[in-house]
Structure 1
């Protein structure tokens, strides 16, 4: 059952608010509007890129009826904290998962992630944590935010490394969902993050190319003073 159907089944609709992340997953905000409710955006934890329970708590109003927590990049949201907020305020708490992968595929990704963890310099690797499946291997590029991150990505692609910006525009900045709300961690993540390849089919040579290209560029980009 989809998010909209679950919200509707819980009686959530016109006049209600549902707290959602703005760091990607526009379909979650769209599901909220589909049932007539208002998506309210809360900030993320900068390590997991999932909703921060404290930010969710701060966003609760008398009209809040639910929360949709999204598991991102192979990391899980802090479910215990989210459900505790839900219990305190009588809210429906839904958990939205990204695509699942087989055990073998996850094992191969973890092997490649461990390789990069041990070799990358000049970028900040992702926090591993228990259960990380590395659906995406998301690093932080130091420097002056989006301009340096984008330049870094272009340079990597020129060296034959496939990389992508995981969230180009936070949902609260899209025209159809525009909100004047302060989400500093969401904004920072959108400006600094870059997903490097850790697909299970990548060869050792390709992994060496990724690490070498990043390391050759990383020293050129210094954090802003």
Structure 2
């Protein structure tokens, strides 16, 4: 099996994307989609994400389509599916290929414990915004990503440092959106992408976590972000 960039390049080649074509991609997330577009000789067109799902926003895609658009790439971000129904309808209406990526093939034995752990955290965490799920879809929680309210990146980073000092492993899922990296520098303002990059923090939700470990996450977060609730 190749890398995600290789897999996306293969999909773009199958879609007959050619040099000079445009391909709509999200900026939030890994730069794999944009890298694959460059390798295909095409131009990545970065668009904003949906504030709730962190996936590419179909409304933003619709605004970005031109006569040169050959394809759009929808990444199923952090385990939440992109809105493939709306994107497919857009693709059919404008004769643009829709490529979905990131829905990893995982066993139920891996997914179900993560979903159970996420449900526990959703019910216990206070002071952070837990990940919403679109009705009718399955979130596999490849990452459990919350928003830290406050003054954006400084507060989020301080929150993360304090959690780590209390033994909670956490990380910023996207430090820099692709359109702001040296590789793809674009003079764009993608409001939801920028806000997510400043506010989001991935908390542990591994299938192997014990209830005691989950309680430690809850206690540490609630002591910082809001009224400390019982983790029992």
Q: With the length of structure 1 as denominator, give the TM-score of the two structures.
A: 0.95
Aligned to 2:15: 10
Runs of 5+ unmatched residues, structure 2: 1-5, 228-232
Match of 1:223 in 2: none
55-64 vs 3-12, greater mean Cα deviation: 3-12
Superposition deviation, residue 10 in structure 1: 2.3
Aligned partner of residue 86 in structure 1, secondary structure:
helix
Mapping 1:17-96, distance limit 5 Å: 17-96=22-101
1:210 maps to 2:217: yes
Q: C-alpha displacement at 1:11, in angstroms?
A: 2.0
Whether 1:184 and 2:191 are equivalent positions in the alignment is yes
Gaps of 5+ in 1: 221-225
CA distance, structure 2, for counterparts of residue 56 and residue 137 of structure 1: 26
Task: Show the counterpart of 2:205.
Answer: 198
CA deviation string 1:83-123 (max 9, x = no partner): 11111111011001243321011110111111111110100
Q: In structure 2, what is the Cα distance between the partners aligned to 1:81 and 1:103? A: 27
Q: Is the 8 A contact 2:72 2:96 kept in 1?
A: yes
| 1:130-164 deviations in Å (ceiling 9; x for gaps) | 31111111100000101100000000000000001
Q: Which residue of 1 aligns with 2:230?
A: none
1:25 to partner: Cα distance: 2.1
**SS of equivalent to 1:39:** strand
> Which ranges of 4 or more aligned residues in structure 1 deviate by more than 4 Å?
none
* Distance of 1:63 and 1:172 partners within structure 2: 20
**RMSD of the TM alignment (CA)?**
1.3
Q: TM-score, normalised by structure 2?
A: 0.92
Q: 1:116 aligns with which of 118, 121, 124?
A: 121
**Aligned counterparts of 1:207 and 1:100: Cα–Cα separation in 2:** 25
Aligned twin of 1:100: 105
Measured in 2, the distance between the counterparts of 1:131 and 1:9 equals 28
